[in-house]
């Protein structure tokens, strides 16, 4: 049985920690929406909206979107009726100031960090390849295309996403350590922080998270 005290959950971790996958599982189990600020920004970019145009360069450079833009998006999203029974918020907050803002708009019940080492993050992201035509993701080690370097579906030459180049991965990890990690103490002080080891397989990590939320 789930611990019903856990209504509003945030989940964070370095790039490629699997936080998005685990957020999906959690949201489904709890029957609440999975809200990912990264996904919101990528949707806006794909849709060619004003906001998308504003943030595209920032995402490609591996930097954080300014707080005043991100905070407003999160506030609006959390005010929607589907969040009334709770939510799983992924990729936000990403710095202390966002954590302070979130504190004013919602009561966070559980802050989960999915931890992986920098070496693991570099290894996981470094192997990613994408089809520029249909968007299918591949991984050299975990999910390779049948023929090296080309998409199984349309034969297009696979590419490395701008924000997944070696240099940008390092920038994103640096941002994570400098800007996001301080939120750990913020949530520790509130007694709602739990660290999950993200190094094992997806299903093992899910089991560990389930143990936390079923306590
Ligand atoms: P993610 O998919 O969570 O790694 O997010 C992808 C990118 O979206 C990040 O590298 C940032 O550029 C941007 N982004 C996502 N969430 C936030 C946030 N909470 N604050 C600022 N920028 C964000």
The answer to whether residue 100 scores a pLDDT higher than 90 is: yes
Predicted pLDDT of residue 161: 85
pLDDT higher at 150 or 171: 150
C-beta atoms surrounding 134 within 10 Å: 11
Q: How far away, in angstroms, is 183 Cα from ligand 1 center? A: 15
Please report, in angstroms and rounded to a whole number, the separation of the first and last CA atoms in the chain: 8
Structure tokens at 199: 């190094």
Ligand 1: nearest atom to the Cα of 62? 10
Mean pLDDT, residues 125-153 taken together: 92
Q: For the whole model, what pTM was predicted?
A: 0.89
The answer to whether residue 138 scores a pLDDT higher than 90 is: yes
pLDDT higher at 44 or 162: 44
Using left for φ > 0, alpha for ψ between -120 and 50, and beta otherwise, residue 135 falls in left
199 CB within 6 A, ligand 1: no
- Asked if 116 and 13 count as a contact pair (C-beta separation under 8 A), the reply is yes
Q: Given 161, 170, 194, 195, which residue is catalytic? A: 161
C-beta atoms surrounding 152 within 10 Å: 14
Note if 46 is an active site residue. no
Question: Distance between CA 47 and CA 81 in Å, rounded?
Answer: 24
Predicted pLDDT of residue 11: 97
Architecture of domain 8-116+178-213: 3-Layer(aba) Sandwich (3.40)
Structure tokens at 69: 């833009």
Predicted pLDDT of residue 61: 86
The answer to whether residue 40 scores a pLDDT higher than 80 is: yes
Average model confidence (pLDDT) for the chain? 93
One-character DSSP codes across 136-169? -EEETTTB--SSTTB-TTT-PBPB--GGGSHHHH
The answer to whether residue 2 scores a pLDDT higher than 70 is: no
Please state, for a pLDDT cut of 70, what percent of the chain lies above it: 99
Which residue among 37, 62, 137, 179 is best mutated to probe the pocket of ligand 1, counting the most ligand atoms within 8 A of its Cβ? Answer: 37
């Amino acid at each position: 049985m789930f611990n019903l005290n856990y209504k509003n959950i945030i989940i964070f971790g370095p790039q490629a920690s699997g936080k998005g996958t685990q957020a999906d599982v959690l949201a489904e189990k709890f029957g609440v929406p999975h809200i990912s600020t990264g996904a919101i920004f990528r949707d806006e970019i794909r849709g060619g909206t004003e906001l998308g145009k504003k943030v595209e360069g920032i995402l490609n450079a591996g930097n954080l979107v300014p707080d005043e833009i991100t905070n407003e998006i999160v506030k609006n999203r959390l005010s929607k009726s589907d969040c009334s029974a709770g939510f799983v918020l992924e990729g936000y907050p990403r710095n202390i100031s966002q954590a302070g803002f979130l504190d004013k708009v919602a009561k966070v019940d559980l802050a989960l960090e999915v931890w992986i080492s920098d070496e693991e993050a570099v290894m996981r992201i470094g192997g990613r390849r994408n089809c520029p035509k249909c968007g299918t993701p591949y991984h050299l080690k975990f999910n390779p295309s049948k023929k090296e370097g080309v998409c199984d579906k349309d034969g297009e030459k696979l590419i490395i996403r701008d924000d997944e180049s070696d240099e940008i991965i390092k920038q994103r990890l640096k941002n994570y350590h400098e800007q996001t990690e301080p939120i750990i103490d913020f949530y520790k002080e509130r007694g709602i922080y739990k660290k999950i080891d993200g190094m094992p397989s997806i299903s093992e990590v899910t089991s560990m998270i389930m143990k936390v939320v079923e306590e």
